[in-house]
């Protein structure tokens, strides 16, 4: 009896992806029942992306294997995207944070477990994490630089120079 090979049903998930090259657009192919954060979990160093538009290029690339550490941010572009598994984070509280990135400062809301400091959360964080209601601005309010707003954005902590909390919030 021949062994059958199981291939999970996939869904396509379009996203804007910030790398050192700038903003790229592409499509991830994620198992239908898996959240995007689980798909991006540690352990996979190359993340597959199709129909990738690279800044400055006129033609899209059919496929790119993106190095995990080269990804700074991922902005899901599908409104009803399954980004995280319901209840996966536990009982949380929202904390305002600012992430220092080479491209600017990303301010947004981070969900951390109740009674856990942001610094402790970050020290234990192994994979990418989600910010809600975020804004990316250039440093020093650079002239002509419009802020970029995100309903949700996934941050690769290895791309952040640092993460801060407003003064007096118990970090």
Whole-angstrom distance, CA of residue 40 vs CA of residue 45: 9
Judge if 10-76 and 92-164 fold alike in CATH terms.
Answer: yes
Please, is 50 exposed, middle or buried when counting C-beta atoms within 10 Å of its C-beta (0-12, 13-18, 19+)? middle
- Range 92-164 classified under CATH 2.30.30.100: yes
Number of other residues whose CB lies within 10 A of the CB of residue 99 = 25
- Tens of pLDDT along 34-84? 888 888 888 888 999 999 999 999 999 999 999 999 999 999 998 766 776
Whole-angstrom distance, CA of residue 73 vs CA of residue 135: 12
- Tens of pLDDT along 92-142? 788 999 999 998 999 999 988 888 888 888 888 778 889 999 999 988 765
10-76 CATH fold: SH3 type barrels. (2.30.30)
Instruction: Return the domain boundaries, the chain.
Output: 10-76, 92-164
Number of other residues whose CB lies within 10 A of the CB of residue 130 = 21
């Amino acid at each position: 009896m021949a062994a059958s090979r199981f291939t999970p049903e996939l869904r396509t998930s379009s996203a804007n992806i910030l790398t050192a090259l700038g903003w790229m657009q592409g499509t991830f192919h994620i198992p239908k029942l898996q959240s995007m954060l689980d798909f991006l979990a540690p352990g996979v160093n190359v993340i597959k992306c199709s129909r990738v538009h690279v800044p400055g290029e006129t033609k899209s690339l059919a496929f790119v294997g993106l190095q995990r550490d080269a990804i700074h941010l991922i902005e899901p572009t599908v409104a009803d995207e399954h980004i995280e598994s319901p209840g996966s984070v536990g009982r949380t509280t929202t904390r305002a944070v600012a992430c220092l990135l080479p491209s600017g400062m990303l301010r947004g809301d981070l969900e951390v477990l109740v009674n856990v400091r942001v610094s402790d959360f970050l020290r234990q964080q192994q994979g990418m994490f989600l910010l809600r209601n975020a804004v990316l601005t250039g440093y020093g309010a650079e002239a002509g630089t419009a802020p970029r707003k995100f309903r949700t954005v996934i941050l690769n902590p290895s791309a952040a120079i640092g993460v801060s909390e407003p003064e007096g919030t118990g970090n």
